[in-house]
Amino acid sequence: MMVEKVNTITVYSTRGGSGKTLTALMLGIAATERGLKTLIIDVDLEAPSFTHLLKPDTSFKSWVDYIEEEVESVLELPQPTFLENLDVIYSPAPRVGKAFLGWKSSEWWQKALRLTLIAEKELQDNGYDLIIFDNQSGTSLNSINNLVVADASLMVMRPSSYGLGAAEDIVKNIYFSLHGMKERNDYYIWNQVHDPANDEERIILDNFMTRWDNNLKQYGLSNVGSVRFHSQFNLELLSDKPDFLGVYQRISNVYKEILATIIGLK
């Protein structure tokens, strides 16, 4: 069953490095263009990225401070970004996050899930139209919690058997459980899709993606787009002050479409 209004999206992948963080950021920018006040929450405690991408120049309270109940309210966390209607909640350095992940019990993660649901509501009541969780990859209790809270999820996949073969069972089990839990919409995109050099390469790529499109459909995931390999992303990441808005403006159409489908306003 479909959710009617999507207020929370979790960007996810089974393997690292597929492009979750940049996808979350591009969708965040696309959302502000639609006039939505948007918040990205970096909940990747293993490989938090937003402190590197956006280089906050003031100290901040992190998502971990919130789920450790060390701040009064989640409203203390959002930090401004280069866009007026886009805020971010950071996660702390990976060293802290990893240590943190290691010793928490499953009861503790149940409490974290409750706190995440409370945060979602409080942030929405205080003016955020859309919350995007940049999730941790894999199947930790942290990743699952952040999938559970969302109205919609977006799995980011590279067309490579390296990442996908091992992921199939995980995907099947996770989404089967999630669909039994509540109404939600689950999607995926292909990302970093390279341009085939000739027809032979095109056929190999198309066959690969079609096979996976069919697999994923069975597990209740719909394809909402395909993003090409854009070297601009990698180039910007070499700079001290990456111009993500500039990259977005050159390739915005694909992200506008993806967002429109996910939030149901196409």
Ligand X SMILES: Nc1ncnc2c1ncn2[C@@H]1O[C@H](COP(=O)(O)OP(=O)(O)OP(=O)(O)O)[C@@H](O)[C@H]1O
Site residues (vs ligand X, CB under 6 A): 13, 16-22, 44, 47, 49, 137, 191-192, 227, 229-230, 233-234, 237
Q: In Å, how far are 54, 113, 244 from 241, measured between CA atoms?
A: 8, 34, 9
Q: Is residue 135 a contact point for Mg ion (CB under 5 A)?
A: no
Nearer to ligand X (CB atom), residue 20 or residue 256:
20
Nearer to ligand X (CB atom), residue 56 or residue 127:
56
Q: Which of 120, 108, 106, 127 is nearest to 43 (CA)?
A: 120
> Stretches 46-54, 84-92, 140-148, 163-171: which one binds Mg ion (CB under 5 A)?
46-54
| Residues in region 12-41 near Mg ion by CB under 5 A | 20-21
Q: What is the CA radius of gyration of the chain?
A: 18
Q: Could you identify the residue written with the tokens 């091992």?
A: 166
Least separation in angstroms between CB 80 and ligand X: 21
Nearer to ligand X (CB atom), residue 44 or residue 87:
44
With the CA atoms of 154, 104, 38 and 18 taken in that order, what torsion angle do they form, in degrees rounded to the nearest 10?
-40
What is the C-alpha separation between 222 and 217, in angstroms, rounded?
A: 6
What is the C-alpha separation between 76 and 50, in angstroms, rounded?
A: 17
Nearer to ligand X (CB atom), residue 16 or residue 56:
16
Q: Is residue 158 a contact point for Mg ion (CB under 5 A)?
A: no
Least separation in angstroms between CB 12 and Mg ion: 10
- Per CB under 5 A, residues contacting Mg ion are 20-21, 49
